[in-house]
Amino acid sequence: MLRCTIGVEDDVKVPVHHLAHFDVACSPAAVFDLVADVPRSVSHFPGVAALVPLGDNAFRWEMEPINLMKFTHRIVYACRYVADPGTLGVMWTPVAGVGNSVIHGHWRLGPSTKLSGGAAIEFESCGELDVPVPALLRKVAAPVVEHQYRSMVDAYHANLRKTLEAA
């Protein structure tokens, strides 16, 4: 007996990675104050339906459902954040067993060499997003998901820049 798999959904693990360097016209300390305050920082990220505190500086991100080639899916993951005022760095690591995706990364901040009194910012985020798609669409799903992820992170950075440079 033949088994038809055209409409069968299965999770596709889509690796995501975003590395960005940019400068803003405000002090590294002001940038740190914003990005170390996780709820305040995340309020600038598009598509977040809820940020749920889990305790010990861990938060569950519940994203608004995304439409992927006529299929709807919600990304959920949790991270624990560690902010170090001495190095002006913020790191996040996955909380095991929470959600359907895994993300980790960091912010690294320092004085800008391009803007007097400004901040140089490095942002890196990577992980895997688990997305259910029909078997027939698996090969095209990854680039679409990666593009959506990058677009959301770019919008997040633009929103943060507006807030930081308006202060």
Q: What is the pLDDT of residue 92?
A: 98
Name all domains of the chain by residue range, CATH numbers in brackets: 12-47+65-70+82-93+103-166 (3.30.530.20)
Q: What is the pLDDT of residue 142?
A: 83
Q: Does the pLDDT at position 68 exceed 80?
A: no
Q: What is the pLDDT of residue 69?
A: 65
DSSP class of residue 35 equals: H
Containing 41, the helix (H) or strand (E) segment is: helix 38-42
Amino acid at 54: L
CA 121 to chain centre: 16
Instruction: List phi, psi (to 5°) of 75.
Output: -85, 130
pLDDT tens for each residue of 3-62:
434 444 567 888 999 999 999 999 999 999 999 999 999 999 999 999 999 999 999 999
Containing 147, the helix (H) or strand (E) segment is: helix 138-166
Give pTM, 2 decimals. 0.89
Q: Number of helices (H) and strands (E), helices first, in the chain?
A: 3, 9
